[in-house]
A and B are shown apart, each in its own frame.
Chain A
Amino acid sequence: MDDLEFRRRLYAAPYDKQQDIQQALNEDDKRKDFCEQLKNFDAKIAAAMQIDVPENLANQLILRQSLNAHQVTKRKSRIHLSIAASVAFVVGVTVTFLNSSPAFTSVADYSLAHYHHEATNFPKQAKANFSLASINNEMTDLKVSFIEQVGKLIAIDGCFFDGMDSMHLVFEGEYDNVTVFIVPKSEHLSFTKNFSDDSVQGLTRQYPNGDVIIIGNKNEPLELWRDKLDNTIEWSI
């Protein structure tokens, strides 16, 4: 190893333990001296680099970390709590909504479903003679009454019209039974004036205190029925 290389190596790493350096050191006392000088010098550098460390630094570091960790856990638990609260809220709202919300959103759909469900239960002709008073008596809960007989009544009964206490009246029509629902005002069902399906048609009439739905055979002049009801029906408070 030549001198230049030796010096370069030692300058870069005075404590180099590699064999070639150690060997070069042993070959020459001058080199040994030089190495000692360099180590001396390095010790000075090391001493100079040992600047004072702020006294409380370690404690500060530990304190700051524990404060930080504390805040993080607090924040975390708050987040957990709020997530739990949100989930509970959503579950609550959903359950309430599902429980109370009807499967039908329009009067037309519901009326048709209700109609078809019960259509076969009624005879085609009126057998009993309902007095006007007895009809009106049935309907007192709905606060509605007729001034006169509307037609030949086959059946009258209170029913649940999509969860609402309503009246279900079946009249003898020209072609088939005419079904009339009298329902209280509802907010969740949308009203369409006319509706129909494959076999029947229907129309609705809205009053300030309730609504009337008329369903009958496709050939039935439902408008006449509606007008007649219009003239006969009376709402009380």
Chain B
Amino acid sequence: MIEKIFRKKSPAVKVQSDMASKQVRYEALVKTLHGDLYRYAYWLVHDQHLAEDLVQETFLRAWRALDSLKDEKAAKSWLITILRRENARRFERKRFEMSEFDEPAIVDHLSTSTEQQLEDHWIREKISQLPEEYREPLVLQVLGGFSGEEIAGMLDLNKNTVMTRLFRARNQLREAIEKGNDIKERYNG
């Protein structure tokens, strides 16, 4: 009888410990990657609240599918893939809510900022003005540290296209910033 009870209980105990280890995994994942993911989401949608919502949704989905993540090294690209899908879904749901040309909401307090912050602000503005197809690979490369092949895999493009877009992204940014510097210098002079 006692043996029976114990035998009955052991799977439940196992489930609980599975749940506990899943919880540990999840929390580690959140702690390591939530920043990267949030920034990626931000550069994708240019809105802090939206980015936060996206990250929330992404991690909820990640929790449900956590067992399918076998390789922890692939966690970041896995999460980004989920986030991109979530973002696409958002467009299916509320296609008319956000205009594509909404002015990006970049929060910065110009009055109290240092020169470095000013420069960051300036570059941020330029980054967000990049066409999305150029910006996304750039964010993945610079922020995510992914290689051309990896980005190609995530965006479902071939590698040459990705490299071309990366080239154009940097080229446009550089030109824009140099032009900006010229203007700034002219004002200063």
Instruction: Please tell me which one of the listed residues A13, A61, A62, A66 contacts residue B148 in the complex, with CB atoms under 8 A apart.
Output: A13
Question: A53-B39, A54-B48 are known contacts. Are A41 and B60 too (CB-CB below 8 A)?
Answer: no
Instruction: Mark each residue of chain B from 20 to 43: 1 if its CB lies under 8 Å from any CB of chain A, else 0.
Output: 000100110011001100110011
> Chain B interface mostly helix, strand, loop or mixed?
helix
A54 with B38: CB separation less than 8 A = yes
> Which segment of B81-89, B90-98, B166-174 sits at the interface?
B166-174
Q: How far is the CA of A38 from the CA of B167 in the complex (A)?
A: 12
Q: How far is the CA of A24 from the CA of B6 in the complex (A)?
A: 70
Instruction: Please tell me which one of the listed residues B30, B116, B143, B166 contacts residue A61 in the complex, with CB atoms under 8 A apart.
Output: B30
> Which segment of A42-50, A131-139, A172-180, A229-237 sits at the interface?
A42-50
Could you say which residues of chain A place their CB within 8 Å of the CB of B166?
11-13
Q: How far is the CA of A47 from the CA of B23 in the complex (A)?
A: 32
For chain B residues 33-77, which have a beta carbon within 8 Å of chain A?
A: 34-35, 38-39, 42-43, 48, 52, 55-56, 59-60, 63
A46 with B142: CB separation less than 8 A = yes
A57 with B63: CB separation less than 8 A = no
Is B132 in the interface zone, CB < 8 Å from A? no
Is B10 in the interface zone, CB < 8 Å from A? no
Q: How many contacts A-B (CB < 8 Å)?
A: 91
Min CB distance B3 to A, Å, is 25
Is A192 in the interface zone, CB < 8 Å from B? no
Could you say which residues of chain A place their CB within 8 Å of the CB of B119?
44, 48
Instruction: Please tell me which one of the listed residues A9, A48, A53, A65 contacts residue B120 in the complex, with CB atoms under 8 A apart.
Output: A48
Instruction: Please tell me which one of the listed residues A11, A14, A44, A65 contacts residue B26 in the complex, with CB atoms under 8 A apart.
Output: A65
Could you say which residues of chain B place their CB within 8 Å of the CB of A64?
56, 59-60
Could you say which residues of chain B place their CB within 8 Å of the CB of A42?
142, 170
A11 with B170: CB separation less than 8 A = yes
Instruction: Mark each residue of chain A from 19 to 61: 1 if its CB lies under 8 Å from any CB of chain B, else 0.
Output: 0000000000000000000100110111111110110011011
A65 nearest in chain B by CB position: B63
Question: A46-B143, A53-B39, A61-B30 are known contacts. Are A69 and B63 too (CB-CB below 8 A)?
Answer: yes
Tally chain B residues at the interface, Cβ within 8 Å. 39
Min CB distance A41 to B, Å, is 6
A42 nearest in chain B by CB position: B142
Question: A41-B170, A41-B174, A54-B38 are known contacts. Are A48 and B60 too (CB-CB below 8 A)?
Answer: no
Instruction: Please tell me which one of the listed residues A14, A41, A65 contacts residue B59 in the complex, with CB atoms under 8 A apart.
Output: A65
Q: How far is the CA of A41 from the CA of B43 in the complex (A)?
A: 18
Min CB distance A110 to B, Å, is 47
A12 with B124: CB separation less than 8 A = no
Q: How far is the CA of A46 from the CA of B127 in the complex (A)?
A: 11
Is A86 in the interface zone, CB < 8 Å from B? no
Q: How far is the CA of A215 from the CA of B160 in the complex (A)?
A: 97
B52 with A45: CB separation less than 8 A = no
A47 with B56: CB separation less than 8 A = no
Question: A11-B167, A44-B119, A45-B138 are known contacts. Are A68 and B38 too (CB-CB below 8 A)?
Answer: no
A68 with B142: CB separation less than 8 A = no
Question: A42-B142, A46-B142, A68-B60 are known contacts. Are A57 and B167 too (CB-CB below 8 A)?
Answer: no
Further contacts, 5 of them, CB under 8 A, given A49-B139, A53-B34, A54-B48: A12-B166, A41-B174, A50-B39, A53-B35, A61-B34
User: What are 30 A-B pairs with beta-carbon distances under 8 A?
Assistant: A11-B167, A11-B170, A12-B163, A12-B167, A12-B170, A41-B173, A41-B174, A45-B127, A45-B138, A45-B173, A47-B120, A47-B123, A48-B119, A48-B120, A48-B123, A51-B42, A51-B124, A54-B38, A54-B48, A54-B52, A57-B34, A57-B38, A58-B30, A60-B56, A61-B34, A62-B27, A64-B60, A65-B59, A66-B23, A68-B63
